[in-house]
Amino acid sequence: MGAARAQEIEADVRSRLLAAADAQQDAWGSHPVPSPSGVLKCKRSLWYTARGVPVTDKVPFQSMKRLDAGKQSEPFWHQMYADADFTVLALVGGSRIKVGEHMTAEFDSALYDKTDDSVPLLLAEFKDMGGWGYMNCVLDGVQASEYDYYMQMQLYMGAMKAEACVFTASLADPTTTLWLWNNIKKQAEEDFPPFYVEVVLFNEGEYNKGLEAAALVAAVVASDAVPPPDYAPTAQKNKKDRNFPCGTDERAYCSRRKQCIADGG
């Protein structure tokens, strides 16, 4: 085989893989709306999801791989906690729990500490995080840096009558994140944690806030009218805003940004 033929095969393989990725995203079903993981998201985006409106801005291939890697990290952490003398419990058969009046959910797992009977049942939430999100979580805590995750855990705890949830974050790209930690955040390398653990305590006020948000989302998605967006999809990102959800023409963060703009975003 000559070099020219090898290049033809390379191009064909790349094209077919990208087409397969697009087809896979087209087959993604709609998710329950509202849900604990998305109750604070833009209500127009949630309306699209509830109605099964096709995405107009697909996830880049590299991000698809990371999303799948995040799912695969859960069994790894289950085994790690089991090896660390915790009893790891999971919902049987993929069953879901009721969260308030409008939501169902399936949390990652729950933990019993074999070494200390005084520790109550702990819910567990595992996340595989990119560099910026991971560093902000380490430096500021999950409530300040990833409020969606914090609310998700509050809703799980409220539904399960649990006092606390162990949040465990792993690194999607350790080498790059360490470089950012040293050179951008100006933090000492010896302070760089290989994973992040935080015990989040149940807060009834936050739980009720999440239930109120879910009721509002449920009312919005029940209407046939496209709701107004919570954000301006064509606005420029403020560098200090960690939660800018829309993105740009070059890089959309929301999978329905073009649809939103077409509907008068």
Contact assessment for residue 236 and residue 61, using Cβ atoms and an 8 Å cutoff: no
Contact assessment for residue 185 and residue 139, using Cβ atoms and an 8 Å cutoff: yes
Which tokens go with 243? 């939660």
- Please list the pLDDT of the chain residue by residue as tens digits (265 residues): 788 888 888 899 989 888 888 888 876 766 789 999 999 999 999 999 998 888 888 888 877 777 777 777 889 999 999 999 999 987 765 668 899 899 998 888 899 999 999 999 999 999 999 999 999 999 999 999 999 999 999 999 999 999 999 999 999 899 999 999 999 999 999 999 999 999 999 999 999 999 999 999 999 999 999 999 998 888 876 655 655 788 888 888 888 999 999 998 6
67-108 confidence digits (pLDDT tens): 777 777 889 999 999 999 999 987 765 668 899 899 998 888
Query: Rounded distance, CA 1 to CA 116, Å?
Result: 65
SS3 state at 265 = coil
pLDDT value for 92: 63
What is the residue extent of each domain of the chain? 47-227
pLDDT value for 218: 96
Model's pTM, two decimal places?
A: 0.88
Please state the length of the chain.
Answer: 265
List all residues 6 or more positions away from 110 whose beta carbon is below 8 Å from its beta carbon.
88, 89, 90, 121, 122, 123, 124, 160, 162
- Select from 3.30.360.10, 3.90.320.10, 3.30.930.10, 3.90.550.10 the CATH code of 47-227: 3.90.320.10
